Structure 1
Amino acid sequence: MNLQGRTVLVTGSTGGLGREFVSQSLARGASTVYAAARRDHEWHDDRGIPLRLDVTDTASVASAAAAARDVDVLVNNAGITGAASLLESPMDEIRNTFETNVFAPLELVRTFAPILAHRGGGAVVDVHSVLSWLAAPGAYSPSKAAFWGVTNSLRIELAGQGTHVLGAHLAYTDTPMTANLDVPKSDPAVIVGRILDALEAGEDEAIADETTAGFRSVLGQATTGRIPSRT
């Protein structure tokens, strides 16, 4: 999937990774990038089009799809850290974490799948985490594990219409979401560059940093969601 001349939609576009997805997609020749977010924002490039989108609101998702009928690549980047404890956080916070990190990107794929099919198949990029494979307290880790499973199943279901599905995994990256964490962090520009390289290479997974590569190797040849065809 070469981005030259393509139309890209990036959710969570005002965050550290989101801004990189927008700017690097434009740098790789995208003709249009819909920079989707819940708040107003501007881009210093006429090809970057601000788009109001609350990924957890069905009406907002439908409105975005009506405004962006030319999308070739959907980047599901929006997400939250969410509830800090599965035992002590309010259930509403836990449900909201899963709503934002799992069900919202699923609804976006369901909504944009016909558009991608009409455009020849296109691609979906789902931004996961190394915590998709590594348990941690709170709702973030299990929500990303669930999202990974959703991505793997979508890859199978969307294959028939020629849609490429890329799951991207990364560890701590220097974004507003991790601003309060005193840990080594990757440069978001490097991470997004590696993800887009994987997209253009047609890979199923983007392993975006060395930490993530180490944990992925522990999984060995674990399935990416494919099952043998029946005869």
Structure 2
Amino acid sequence: MKIAGSTALVTGANRGFGRNLAAELLARGATVYAGARNPDSVDLPGVTPVRLDLTDPTSVAAAAELAGDVNLLVNNAGIDSRADLLDGDLDLLRLELETHYIGTLSVIRAFAPVIAGNGGGTILNVLSVLSWFGSPIHGAYGAAKAAEWSMTNVLRVQLADRGVRVAGLHVGYLDTDMAADITGPKSDPAAIARIAVDGVEADAYEIVADDLSRRVQAGLAGGVAALYPQLP
């Protein structure tokens, strides 16, 4: 789709990767709604702040009513509780699923008719390399992102005949607050935002944004032995 002249809503746009995505869309000529639980925290000039809490159906419905001219939805909002799958707080695991899977689906259900009614457009789900690869320190996050990836694949098929393209972005660690304690390589969020928006403009269904994600994607065909060589 053409970004210039489009109208986008980016969830979690008050900071981190979401703010970079909103800035990139603005720079390319889009009108941008910046979704955040606290709209007062949105400090990017040129966007329209929108109160949006993925886990609150009333908030989601109100956002869809307010932003009725959207033809590009970017589902970026998320959390990483670092809850351990074996002994972590089950409420935190539920919150991960409520945010990344149920919450994202709730936003899509609200906005898909809006996008279709506006002549069609695109939904971009910000996924992760961890939807393909399990890491114990991100067990809850990875499980929720895997569910979101599966959802992305299903909705891609379901919404195609309504003129709504569903794309997924796969990327590793980004240099944002969420990964501040990670010491390994991290990508520049502004650079990944450019890659993501390039993919949307090229009508790509799957946007694999960094070398790590490409390596893991290639390893999927090799099964468990390829992805987890440390296992006996």
Shared topology, TM-score over 0.5? yes
**Structure-1 residue corresponding to 2:148:** 147
Alpha-carbon distance in 2 for matches of 1:140, 1:155: 22
Percent identical across equivalent pairs? 47
Alpha-carbon distance in 1 for matches of 2:217, 2:120: 28
Runs of 4+ displaced beyond 6 Å:
none
Q: Offset of 1:83 from its aligned partner?
A: 4.5
- In the alignment of these two chains, the number of paired residues is 219
The aligned runs of 1:47-196 (5 Å cut-off) are 48-137=47-136, 138-196=139-197
Letter in 2 for 1:50: P
1:191-214 Cα offsets, whole Å, 9 max, x none, are 111111111111110111111111
Alpha-carbon distance in 1 for matches of 2:222, 2:107: 29
TM-score, normalised by the number of residues in structure 1: 0.92
Q: Which residues of structure 2 form unaligned runs of 5+?
A: 224-232
TM-score, normalised by the number of residues in structure 2: 0.91
Alpha-carbon distance in 1 for matches of 2:209, 2:9: 20
Alpha-carbon distance in 1 for matches of 2:165, 2:197: 13
SS at match of 1:101: helix
SS at match of 2:124: strand
1:107-140 Cα offsets, whole Å, 9 max, x none, are 1001111101101111100000001110122211
Q: Offset of 1:82 from its aligned partner?
A: 2.1
SS at match of 1:161: coil
Q: Offset of 1:184 from its aligned partner?
A: 1.0
SS at match of 1:182: coil
Q: Offset of 1:43 from its aligned partner?
A: 2.7
Alpha-carbon distance in 1 for matches of 2:94, 2:20: 29
Alpha-carbon distance in 1 for matches of 2:197, 2:185: 23
- Name the structure with the higher helix share: 2
Alpha-carbon distance in 2 for matches of 1:200, 1:139: 32
Q: Contact 1:20–1:192 (CA<8 Å) still a contact in 2?
A: yes
SS at match of 2:161: helix
Does 2:226 correspond to 1:217?
no
Alpha-carbon distance in 2 for matches of 1:90, 1:185: 28
Q: Contact 2:22–2:32 (CA<8 Å) still a contact in 1?
A: yes
Q: Offset of 1:157 from its aligned partner?
A: 0.4
Q: Contact 1:126–1:166 (CA<8 Å) still a contact in 2?
A: yes
SS at match of 1:206: strand
CA gap of 1:220–1:121, structure 2 versus 1, over 3 A, is farther
Q: Offset of 1:219 from its aligned partner?
A: 2.7
